[in-house]
Structure formats: C-alpha cells, structure tokens
Amino acid sequence: MEAPDEIFEDEDEALEIPADPMRLNMGPSHPAMHGTIRMVLDLDGETVMNVDVQPGYLHRGFEKSCERGTWAQVFPYADRLNYVSPMLNNVGFSLAVEKLLGIEVPDRGQYYRVILGELARICDHFTSNGAGAMELGAFTPFLWLLKVRDWVWDILERETGARMTHSFGRIGGMAFPPTDGFADDVRAIIPEIHKVVGEAEGLLLKNRIFLDRMQGVGILSKERAVALGCSGPVLRSTGVAYDVRKDHPYMVYDRFDFEVPVGEDGDNWDRFMVRMEEIRQSIRIIEQALDQMPTDGPVSVTDSRIMLPEKREVYTTIEATIAHFKLVMEGLKCPKGAVYSFTEGGNGELGFYIVSDGSGTPYRVRVRPPCWYNLQAVREMLIGDMIADIIPTFGSINMIGGECDR
C-alpha cells in the first residue's frame, strides 16, 4: 500500500478526494418539483450520482374512480389528467369510447375538436416553456406567454364555459356546437400567438445564462428514449420524428399540411425548441382547419343511445326523457370488448386502454400517460449532471402531476 502523500502529489488529483456521497431529498413539496414529485438524490459534491424519482404524491385513484360511474362520468376526471391541456384528454377519451362503439363523429365536430385541441396544445407548450424559463430566472417570457395563454383561454371559456377543466367532450361529439364568433376569435388570436412566441424567443435564445443551462444538459439518447417509451416533445427532441398525428392520423389530421419538428441532442434546449416550433405548427393546423371546417351541420352524432337529447326536448317529450334517463342513470352501453386508442396529447402519446363488459360502467380504464414514461427517463437525463440542472431538466419534460400520478 502506498503512502497517502504519494497518491496526492498532484494538486488536481487531490481535488478528487472521494467524498462521502450525500443523500439529498428533493420534494415533494419543493417549488421546482411542480406536481409534487420527490427525488432522492445521491450527490458527490454537486454532481448527481444517482437519483430515484418517486411519483405518486398526486395519486387520486383515477382508474379506480372510473370503474364506478358511467362512461360519460369519466370526462371530469379526464379533464384533471393533464390539466394544462384538458381538451386533449377529453377528446382522447371520447375517441377511445367511440372506437369501442364503432362510431365516427360528423366532420364539423372533428374539425371543432381539432381546433380546440390544438389551442389546448398551444396553452400546454406555453405553460411548459414559460415556466421552464421562469425557473431559470427569466420571468418576463413567462408573463408574456401566459398573457396570451389567457387570451386563448378566453376563447375556450366562450366555447365551453370554463377556462381550465372544460368537461366539454362528449362520447359521440361535443357538448355544444361552435359559437357564432368562434372562427373569427381564433383567427384574431393567431397573430398574437405568433408575436408572443417571437418575443419570448427574442428574450431567451441569445441569453447566455439560458443557453448554458439548457444546452448540453439533461441529454437523452434516441435509443434510450425509444426503449424507455418516451413520446411527444421529449422523444422528438432526440431526433425521432414520431407524432401520433402524423404516424397514426386520427380524426382529420391527415387533411392538414404540417411538420413534425425534431431536435438533435435530446437536451433541454431541444425540448424547449421543439415545443416552440410545435406551437407554430399547431397554428398552421388551426388555420387550415378553420378554412376546411363546415359552417353548419351537427357536431355530434344524433343517436339517442349515445348523445344526450336536447334539454328542451327532455322537459317536454317522453322519448327524450327516457333517453336522458337511460343515459344518465344507466349510462351509455358499450359493446363488450377492449380497445386501445391513442392520441397526441400535450406531452406525447396519450393512450386509453378501455375494457367494457357490456354494461353502462367502464370495467377498466387504463390511461397511458405520456408523462409517466417521460418522467421515468428523467433519471437517465440527470445522472452525471449537476444538482442545479435538475430544475431545467425536470421543467423541460413538462411533468404534469395529474396525468402522471392519476
């Protein structure tokens, strides 16, 4: 055995004195762990040697709760999955049940769903990127982005009656047809969105601090992202051009011309930029959808076994009363079977695996939350990075507790 002074004769090497690894607990009630995630870190100095990501602090038993109501009663729960873009969850769940029923919503309803969904996606990305920048000290972009998000929410409020948890989707369509000024409102907001995206980028993209903390931090390789089941912006940032809207077109997405932005390195910067670009692509989709959308016609199927009849009819005719009664008290009867239906949610592939036993109550509703698998990948993104890198990395995967923990 060599004497200690021989080992550390070089000063640089002496700096590498092995330190005891420090066990540090972060969260669940840490301001940067939004959505109440707990991370147990093993630190060597400031370097993250290992991390155990622990979700579950926002678990509310979504899947269990679904098993005791009717199919339609799942909508308010679905709103509270990814509560930043509830419309996408609503539509995702509707599509799953419609797949099980084997029905298709009229064209106008599909376009309506697309437009509302893309607006929700824009809000989702605004929130993610705005909050991510804010956590790095850039408060202004956050305020600017959220200001425009609020205007988008104004539109959603006019359409659905609620700013956040709309519960606006219905099995077989939407709760109400578009309001009269809908298309004009949306067209009016588009330049604002473009403008604010440009402004936010102007503030951030040449900011040295921002660049340092985003570029080369939280890297995830393409192969690992695929094997870990990542999807959405997290997967696309690694260079995989997988977007459900493009690869498995649902609703009317195959009628639009849009691109799937991809990154190269799979770092925070790429995730940020992919989201920014997706906002622009969403606007392209919305513009095309507004042009193509029929101006009249039903937005929902008219079968009284699936859609609730109009209230006026319910109060005056026995047929509508019975239809209403049956749908509310017993619920819509889905054929026996199981389907997996998936859509592009705010964070990636939002899947619903639903099982029906033929009664009015879901037998099982499994949500495949994109956040769940994206969050799983955080461990590999973080190992080797510094403790301060946790904040932008965790921010950039846009973990939404409601969806992840259900």
Partner 1 sequence: MPTFKLNGQDIPFEPGDTIMRAAWRAGIEIPHYCWHPGLSVAANCRMCLVHITSGRQMAMPTLKWDEKKKAYVPDTKPKLTPACQQAAGEGMEVTSVGEEVENAQAHVQEFLLLNHPVDCPICDQAGECKLQDYYEEHQHTAKRKQTEPVHKPKGVTFGPTIVYDAERCIMCTRCIRVCDELVGDHVLDMRERGNKNEIVLAPGRELDHRYTLMTEHVCPVGALTSQDFRFKARVWFLKSVEGVCTGCSTGCNSHVDFDPRIGKVYRLRPRDNEDVNKFWMCDDGMMTYTEVHEGRLKTPVDGRGEGAERLLPEEAVDLVAAKLGAVDAKKLAIVLSAGMSNEDNWVLARFAEKLGAGRLYLAAREAEDVGWEGDDILRSSDPNPNRAGATLAAKSVELHDLEDLAQDVLAGEVSAVLALGHHGGEREGALDALGSLDTVVVLASNEGPLSAVASVQVPVASWAESFGSFVNGQGLFQTFTRAIPSPDGVETAWKTLVQVAAALGHDLGYVRTGEVRDELTQSATAEAAAEPTATA
Partner 2 sequence: MSKKVTKLLQKEFGDKILLATDFRGDAEVTVAPKHWVEVATFLRDHEKSAMDHFTDVTAVDYPEREMEGGARFDVLLLCRSMQHNHRMRLRTELADGKKLASLTPVWSGANWAEREVYDMFGIEFEGHKDLRRILMYDEFEGWPLRKDYPIDRVQPLVEYRDVDSTLKLPPFGIEEGQPFARIDWEERLAGRDEQVSPSIGLQLGQRRALSDSKVAEDQAAELAQKKAADAAETPES
- Decide if residue 316 touches partner 1 (CB under 8 A): yes
Helix (H, G, I), strand (E, B) or coil at 115: helix
140 lines the binding site for partner 1 (CB under 8 A):
no
Candidates 333, 381, 398; CA nearest to 219 is 381
Contact pick of 136, 145, 323, 382 for partner 1 (by CB under 8 A): 323
Instruction: Please give the distance of CA 382 from its chain centroid, rounded to a whole number.
Output: 22
Q: Choose the stretch contacting partner 2; rule: CB under 8 A; options: 59-67, 269-277, 288-296, 322-330.
A: 59-67
Stretch that binds partner 1, among 73-81, 216-224, 322-330, 370-378 (CB under 8 A): 322-330
**Helix (H) / strand (E) containing 355:** strand 348-356
CA 148 to centroid of chain Cα atoms: 18
Among residue numbers 329 through 348, which ones bind partner 1 (CB under 8 A)? 329-330
d(CA 98, CA 117): 17
String of DSSP letters for 15-62: HTPPPPPEEEEE-SS-TTSTTT-EEEEEEETTEEEEEEEE--TT---H
Question: Which of 50, 73, 215, 321 forms a contact with partner 2 (CB under 8 A)?
Answer: 50
Question: Minimum distance between the CB of residue 7 and partner 2, rounded to whole angstroms?
Answer: 9
Selected range binding partner 2 among 103-111, 135-143, 221-229, 312-320, rule: CB under 8 A:
221-229
Residue 358 binding partner 2, by CB under 8 A: no
My answer on whether omega of the bond before 362 falls inside 30° of 0, hence cis, is no
188/186 Cα distance (integer angstroms) = 5
- Select the binding partner of residue 108 from partner 1, partner 2, none (C-beta < 5 to 8 A, by kind): none
The separation between CA 109 and the C-alpha centre of its own chain, rounded to angstroms, equals 22
Where along the sequence are the contacts to partner 2 (CB under 8 A)? 16, 18-21, 23, 40, 42, 44-45, 47, 49-50, 52, 54-56, 59, 61, 63-65, 67-68, 99-100, 102, 221, 223-224, 226-230, 240, 242, 247-248, 337-340, 349, 351, 353, 355, 363-364, 366, 368, 372-373, 376, 380, 383-385, 405-406
